[in-house]
Amino acid sequence: MGPKEVLELTPFMLVFLPTLGFLGGLLSGFIGSGGAFVLTPGMMSAGVPGAVAVASNMCHKFPKALVGAMKRAKLGHVDVFLGLVMGLSATAGVQVGVKIQKWINQVWGAAGSNLYVSTIFVLVLLTVGLIVLRDAYRSKNQQVVVVEPGKLAQKVQKFRIPPMLSFPVAKSKVSFWITVPLGFATGLLAATIAVGGFIGVPAMMYILGASSFVASGTELVIAFVMGLTGTLSWAYSGYVDLRLALLILFGSLFGVQLGAIGTSYVKDYMIKLVMALVMLIVMVSRLVSIPVYLRDLGKLALAPSTAELLKNLSFAIMCLALVVSGVIILGAIAKGRRAARTEELRGISVEVPQQP
């Protein structure tokens, strides 16, 4: 089916897309990224052609990021300048990344390209996911919250070749020659693994020295810039299905508000923990589908029923990542609200005897 034909919306899509949108939005509002990894295959499993699914997902991403960034900015979690510098450099990186992808597709074919993408995906998410998980575990066990940037970020900030860029909310001053190549590299990787935030947020935390609150809030500005430029490009070719994008947006704007509210009830390590868990679960999901690509390349014998089972298992694991993160975030909000109410009641009971 070409982009010029109008896709028929099914009742399943009317329920499924806003639901996935809500869960993806919840995750985005909380960790600055997420949802895209399950929305594109989710739409494709509902019968949407691949290019339309990618384009429509992109078109829901930037308005959602806009609303999330506005909400997180009120909490002091957004460094707009850092987001714009990283977002614009990442956009340039994506252009180069797409060219590399096309070249790999030409040389190795679709199955080879899928195998390449999955291998990079698994390696990057496994490495970064474990680093974030270790950091979350260490932060949780710290009695005193350390606000200083890590060793790598301190070294990076000592690199002072001008022009130096000041990021007031991130409380960081980093050379242009570090920030722009870093943004470019995240875009380059994002073009390959399609989950830019999983690279951008850890990069801002560990290389630029931003807190997990500011890194995840600022990621929403990056997602806005990248989503906007991506949407313009896809919409120019007529691939965006506005109805699909608006269906996802319907749910995701509820989710992103709630996710952003959730960050005000949790400690620093909670954002890292959710991010690490999602990255590692999604990594397993992609790992499960690697034998299917090996079969497509003729390197592995696999029964069609087994291949189908692996594909379904891979999608189910992706959905599990969203559900697990949703449960943790909603649980954290509920716990935080209970604690706030208890504090408030204690405050009242202390105040009463003091009155004359």
Partner 1 sequence: MNGKQNGRKKPWGALLLWGALSLGLYAVVFLKGDAVQGFIAEGGVGKAAIVVAVAIIFSLVHGNFTGAFFEALGIRAKGR
Residue among 31, 64, 78, 314 that touches partner 1 (CB under 8 A): 64
Residue placing its CB nearer to partner 1 in the complex, 261 or 283: 261
Tokens 């195998």 identify what position?
115
Structure tokens at 78: 């957004």
Residue placing its CB nearer to partner 1 in the complex, 65 or 86: 65
Residue among 124, 180, 223, 249 that touches partner 1 (CB under 8 A): 249
Q: DSSP letters of 231-247?
A: HHHHHHTT---HHHHHH
Contacts (Cβ under 8 Å, ≥6 apart) of 354: none
Of 17, 35, 16, 18, which Cα lies nearest the Cα of 223?
A: 35
- Shortest reach from residue 146's CB to partner 1, in Å: 18
**Cα–Cα distance measured from residue 41 to residue 34, given in angstroms and rounded to the nearest whole number:** 13
Residue among 171, 173, 243, 267 that touches partner 1 (CB under 8 A): 243
Based on the shown chain and the rule CB under 8 A, indicate whether residue 71 belongs to the binding site for partner 1: yes
Q: 194, 37 in Cβ contact below 8 A?
A: yes
- Going residue by residue from 294 to 313, which x/- string records binding to partner 1, judged by CB under 8 A? --------------------
Residue among 236, 303, 305, 352 that touches partner 1 (CB under 8 A): 236
Based on the shown chain and the rule CB under 8 A, indicate whether residue 32 belongs to the binding site for partner 1: no
Structure tokens at 2: 């070409």
Tokens 């992706």 identify what position?
318
- Shortest reach from residue 261's CB to partner 1, in Å: 5
Tokens 């990787």 identify what position?
189
**Cα–Cα distance measured from residue 337 to residue 285, given in angstroms and rounded to the nearest whole number:** 33
Under DSSP, the state recorded for 170 is T
Q: Which stretch binds partner 1 (CB under 8 A): 39-47, 152-160, 199-207, 332-340?
A: 332-340
Structure tokens at 85: 């510098």
Based on the shown chain and the rule CB under 8 A, indicate whether residue 340 belongs to the binding site for partner 1: yes
Based on the shown chain and the rule CB under 8 A, indicate whether residue 228 belongs to the binding site for partner 1: yes
Residue among 39, 85, 203, 258 that touches partner 1 (CB under 8 A): 258
Of 247, 275, 196, which Cα lies nearest the Cα of 43?
A: 247
Based on the shown chain and the rule CB under 8 A, indicate whether residue 242 belongs to the binding site for partner 1: yes
Based on the shown chain and the rule CB under 8 A, indicate whether residue 67 belongs to the binding site for partner 1: yes
- Shortest reach from residue 50's CB to partner 1, in Å: 16
Q: Which stretch binds partner 1 (CB under 8 A): 43-51, 142-150, 255-263, 284-292?
A: 255-263
Contacts (Cβ under 8 Å, ≥6 apart) of 142: none
Total residues binding partner 1 (CB under 8 A): 52
Q: DSSP letters of 25-86?
A: HHHHHHHS--SHHHHHHHHHHTT--HHHHHHHHHHHHHHHHHHHHHHHHHTT---HHHHHHH
**Cα–Cα distance measured from residue 40 to residue 53, given in angstroms and rounded to the nearest whole number:** 5
Residue placing its CB nearer to partner 1 in the complex, 66 or 201: 66
Based on the shown chain and the rule CB under 8 A, indicate whether residue 177 belongs to the binding site for partner 1: no
The angle at the Cα of 323, spanning 269 to 71, to the nearest 5 degrees, equals: 60
Based on the shown chain and the rule CB under 8 A, indicate whether residue 235 belongs to the binding site for partner 1: yes
- Shortest reach from residue 330's CB to partner 1, in Å: 11
Residues forming the site for partner 1 (CB under 8 A) = 3-7, 9, 59-60, 62-64, 66-67, 70-71, 74-76, 228, 231-232, 235-243, 245-246, 249-250, 253-254, 257-258, 260-261, 263-265, 333, 336-337, 340-341, 343-344, 347-348
